Chain A
Amino acid sequence: MDNAIVAAHTHETAVAAEHEHIVLPQHRHHFETQEQQREAATFGMWLFLLTEIMFFGGLFFAYLLYRNWYHDAFVVSSNQLSIPLGAANTAILVTSGFFMALGVWAAEVKKQGLLVLFLVLTTFFGVAFLGIKAVEYHEKWEKHHIPGAHFNVSEFVNPPVNPKTGKLTETPLSPDMAQKTQVFFFLYFAMTGMHAFHMILGIGLLFWLTWRANRGEFSAGYVAPIENFGLYWHFVDIVWLFLFPLLYLINRHPGY
């Protein structure tokens, strides 16, 4: 043990001789060993994700409170969201996460070509998710369901009649409660928007990592950035896995 500590800051070749592997160029000299560096980075990433949980936690807390207060408004507004689009997006994001996991594996087994391929696929599915999200946002724009000055509650006070059955498609809300749909849509945009913002950051990082992977930086044993970005990407997936049921699925009723 003592030897190892002294060896780490003696000459590189001495370390190589002792440990039978080469010191990576990415080894930061204030760490005693590469193992220590890798553990520290992963631990730091987990802590960062913990702060992210607390960050999103505030939004989830607000959502739960207002869902209880304005239940009727939340149910009706929730029906405005498209389950097929949301489900498709969930599938797309899980696929993206799957390719990310494969990417970590490819880096660990030092296969540069596969790693680049998987990172590109991860990026592709991430962008596809944002594309579908944009379509959904656009639909809200057309229906005047974006909170603010142009928000329109008429659809919730006077729901349209279903031409087949001749019945109302939704329970009509009192004008007062209908106003509260705005709270739902604000939280919808704040939560999915914050999630999308994390996706955009992640895609930016993916471009950078793909470029570096293409230069072979992660195929010689230095996998920490890929691994830790993987943790981040999976975290963003998991946030969506909570958002999807909360915003789209729970307490939906088929209407009449």
Chain B
Amino acid sequence: MSATSYTIVNLPDQRTATLPKRNYLNNEDGLLSWLFTGDHKRIAILYLISITFFFFIGGAFAGLIRLELLTPQPDLVASDTYNKFFSMHGIVMIFLFLVPSVPATLGNFLIPIMIGAKDLAFPKVNLLSWYLYWIGGLFTLAALVLGGVDTGWTFTTPLSTHYLNTHVVTAATGVFIIGFSSIFTGLNFIVTIHRMRAPGMTWFRMPLFCWSNYAASILMVLGTPVLAITLVLVALERLVGIGVFDPTKGGDPLLFQHLFWFYSHPAVYIMILPGMGVISEVISTFSRKRVFGYTAVAFSSVAIALFGFFVWAHHMFIMGVSNYSALVFSLLTMLVAVPSAIKIFNWAFTLQKGSITFETPMLYAFGFLGLFTIGGMTGVFLGALGMDIHLTETYFIVAHFHFVMVGGMLMAFLAGIHFWWPKMTGRMYPESLSKLAAVTTFIGFNLTFLPQFILGYLGMPRRYHAYPPEFQVLNVLSTAGATVLGVGYMLPLLYLAWSLKYGAIAGNNPWQATGLEWQIQSPPLTENFIEIPIVDHEAYDYEWLAHKTAQEVTTVG
């Protein structure tokens, strides 16, 4: 076997290759042309820079948390400082990184191209959503700089409304505003996918990435307003001193839990669904096969979105909801595992008998498959009523949602960033270094979070900064893993920045992928297509691609 058969990378001859003279990056110059842009691709880049900034802020807090937990004694920081650390870690990572991560960057960049449109339906609303993101981000940073907030990301009442004297209102205002940024992104996607598909691009010809973002958008549009009104009520209760949630004044803290989790449970599907879309694209491309059970995978996204709205009370099993509702919510929670499993099995069958190659995005996708499966399965443990009472509010739950959010979503995000980096920038990232990063991330991740399952099972509660000495070994392992993980995340930041100038020229379709985005130049033109394409083939049709490539004369520029 020759070395080339291990890879499908198909780069133009580097001695003669050039980047296209005109593209969305150099179409206009100057900072203002970026700050007032309506181009979905430029807004995606703005978002990418912004969420990377906030990711490293949230990551710094994660590092501080793990550092404090290195020893059983509370020795690095005081208790309330530690509370502020994990609160800020949660708020930044969830609202400023995970929720917008794939939709606002890759989704913004790709959805119009994938369906053959020139832009999203409302470019100005899209830009507005980025500004709202930053205004909300600045409020969050202000809460941090002014002295922090220590409610946890959940703003639990009456703690947040009655007992604390920290910057709850500032942080809540920040989250409220970021919420509208998310609503506008979701609204834009839904309208674009409904109304702006190219001729011939039927619903069932769309790439699965569009389906999963569509499902996530439904959740954003329906769920986020409920969070908004809940935060308004929390702020009013704090400012005016009314009892909606405060039991001493006749309010019901459980009402807060219902309203909060009505958004915040669907929010985890907002975070994971777009990542699942990325995985569908990556696995199909690097197996050279159509995604197995395309229709089932498409509908499972919508099913997750629908079921996702009816499981919220599983966050409240120990909070005094009635036995009957706990039973129903436990059953519904387990039902969500069905569409998730449909996806996992279909990806596995896509791999079966495929011509699999192990490019970096594929490594991340494999990481996703394993880690998300563990994260999902432990979710079923937690959905079971008896187990939940033992495991809830312990490190088991911390490990569970980090497997889904970090092991799942962050892996998917990095898979997507690597996969579409050639399209976004026109240049390749360094292949071997990026493979090293993917492996480092996987090892670091497992080292960090596998011990936490055991810690939680043994009964170590979350959100405490001291623990009995017998837990130290596992905590040291976890902290060591976090260090490796930190290196794994720093590497892409460095080599992706390097590749902007020195990376190999990628050409239009380095992966020989089938999506419409790969049939146009990289980086694309400002309005994507010279002429709106007429779609006459299914998604992931590699024969169509082979036929097309055989006939076309490759031109660059």
Chain A residues packing against B (C-beta within 8 Å): 1-2, 5-6, 9, 28-32, 36, 39-40, 43-44, 47-48, 50-52, 54-59, 61-62, 65-66, 69-70, 147-149, 179-180, 182-183, 186-187, 190, 194
11 contacts between A and B (CB under 8 A): A30-B527, A31-B121, A50-B221, A51-B221, A54-B222, A58-B230, A58-B233, A148-B242, A182-B243, A182-B250, A186-B240
CB of A47 within 8 A of CB of B187, answer yes
Expressed in whole angstroms, the minimum distance between the Cβ of B381 and any Cβ of chain A is 30
Against A, the Cβ 8 Å flags (1 = close, 0 = not) of B236-262 are 100011111000011110010011000
The 5 nearest A-B residue pairs measured at CB: A58-B229, A55-B225, A30-B119, A54-B225, A30-B118
Chain B contact residues, CB within 8 Å of chain A: 117-119, 121-123, 125, 183, 187-188, 190-192, 194-196, 199, 221-226, 228-230, 232-233, 236, 240-244, 249-252, 255, 258-259, 527, 531-532, 534
Q: Are B121 and A44 touching (Cβ within 8 A)?
A: yes
Task: Give every chain A residue within 8 A of B121 (Cβ-Cβ).
Answer: 31, 40, 44
Question: Which residue in A40, A58, A66, A149 is a CB contact (below 8 Å) of B259?
Answer: A58
Evaluate contact between B259 and A47: CB separation under 8 angstroms.
no
- B185 to chain A minimum Cβ distance, whole angstroms, is 12
Q: Report the nearest A residue to B194, measured CB to CB.
A: A43
Given A47-B187, A51-B183: A62 in contact with B194 (beta carbons within 8 A): no
B199 to A5, Cβ gap below 8 A? yes
Contact A58 B236 (CB under 8 A): no
- The complex places the Cα of A79 from the Cα of B183 at a distance, in Å, of 38
CB of B222 within 8 A of CB of A50, answer yes
Do A51 and B225 touch across chains, with their CB atoms under 8 A apart?
yes
Which residues on the B side are within 8 Å of A180 (C-beta)?
A: 250
Contacting residue for B229 out of A36, A55, A70, CB 8 A: A55
Q: Which residues of the other chain, A, contact B242 by a CB distance below 8 angstroms? A: 147-148, 182-183, 186
Interface pair B191/A40, CB less than 8 Å apart: yes
Known: A57-B226, A62-B255, A147-B240. A47 touches B199 (CB 8 A): no
A70 in complex: contacting residue of B187, B250, B534, CB < 8 Å: B250
Q: Are A2 and B534 in contact (CB under 8 A)?
A: yes
Sample of 20 more A-B contacts, CB < 8 Å, known A40-B196, A62-B244: A5-B199, A5-B532, A6-B531, A31-B121, A36-B195, A40-B191, A43-B194, A44-B121, A44-B187, A52-B225, A55-B228, A55-B229, A57-B225, A57-B226, A58-B233, A66-B252, A182-B243, A183-B243, A186-B243, A186-B244
Asked if B236 and A65 make an inter-chain contact with CB atoms under 8 angstroms apart, the answer reads no
Complex interface: chain B residues within 8 A of A56 (CB) = 229
- Among residues of A, the one whose C-beta sits closest to the C-beta of B262 is A58
Q: Kindly state the separation between the CA atoms of A133 and B252 in the bound complex, as whole angstroms.
A: 29
The answer to whether B223 touches A54, judged by C-beta atoms less than 8 angstroms apart, is yes
Q: Which residues of B contact A50 (CB under 8 A)?
A: 221-222
When chains A and B are docked, how far (Å) is the Cα of A148 from the Cα of B249?
Answer: 11
**CB-nearest residue of chain A relative to B527?**
A30
Bound complex: CA A54 to CA B222 (Å):
6
Complex CA–CA separation, A244 to B453 (angstroms): 52
A62 to B244, CA, bound (A): 8
Assuming the contacts A50-B221, A149-B241, asked whether A190 and B123 have C-beta atoms less than 8 A apart, the reply is no
Instruction: Enumerate chain A residues within 8 angstroms of B226, measured Cβ to Cβ.
Output: 54-55, 57-58
- A-side contacts of B236, CB under 8 Å: 186, 190
Contacts of B531 in A (CB 8 A): 6, 9
A50 to B125, CA, bound (A): 17
Find chain A residues with CB under 8 A from B195 CB. Answer: 36, 39-40, 43
Most buried by B among A48, A58, A194: A58
